């Protein structure tokens, strides 16, 4: 469920980690943790076309294999409260070095309905 607080938290998190989602993305969950190593988790739903445009802007690893795979879902961590990547059917994840390798950006993608995807974002400092 999207609320103004969730949208505000999501905007602050996205600014902090330096990731821009399309304007059509609707945040469902946003949480950040401050400490010795900051971290944040975010869930957003967006149209498939907007996801593909976002994907084209990301620094994907160069490989002849598909970068997203179900075997990498563990990078999103365990389900806790509203953070439920383990319940997402068809989820596939990729881990990207972020900001020169000082941070990690884990992206999980799953179908979310007619021509939409659900994006799980788990970012943390190394």
> Containing domain of residue 120, as a range?
4-125
In tens, the pLDDT along 15-54 reads: 999 999 999 999 999 999 988 889 999 999 999 999 999 9
Q: How many domains does the chain have?
A: 1
70-101 residue pLDDT tens: 999 999 999 999 999 999 999 999 999 999 99
- HSE-CB at 66 with a 13 A cutoff on CA atoms is 8
Binning pLDDT at 50, 70 and 90, where does residue 62 land?
A: confident
The pLDDT of residue 7 is 72
* CATH number, residue 96: 3.30.160
Scan for tokens 């992206």, then name that residue. Answer: 107
Q: Is residue 1 pLDDT above 60, yes or no? A: no
Average pLDDT over every residue of 89-116: 95
Coil, strand, or helix at residue 110? strand
Residues 6+ positions from 108 with CB-CB distance below 8 Å: 73, 75, 76, 85, 88, 91, 92, 93, 119, 120, 121, 122
- pLDDT category at 60 given cuts 50, 70, 90 is confident
Would the pTM count as exceeding 0.85? yes
Give per-residue burial for 20-44: e unless 16+ CB within 10 Å, then b.
ebeeebbbbbbbbeeeeeebbbbbb
């Amino acid at each position: 469920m999207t609320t103004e607080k969730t949208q505000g938290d999501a905007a602050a998190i996205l600014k902090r980690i330096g990731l821009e989602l399309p304007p059509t993305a609707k945040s469902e969950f946003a949480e950040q943790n401050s400490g010795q190593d900051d971290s944040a988790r975010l869930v957003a739903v967006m149209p498939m076309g907007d996801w593909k445009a976002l994907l084209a802007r990301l620094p994907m690893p160069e490989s002849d294999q598909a970068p997203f795979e179900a075997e990498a879902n563990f990078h999103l961590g365990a389900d806790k409260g509203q953070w439920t990547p383990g319940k997402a059917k068809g989820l596939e994840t990729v881990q990207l070095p972020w900001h020169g390798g000082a941070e990690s950006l884990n992206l999980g993608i799953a179908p979310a309905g007619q021509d939409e995807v659900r994006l799980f974002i788990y970012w943390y400092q190394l």
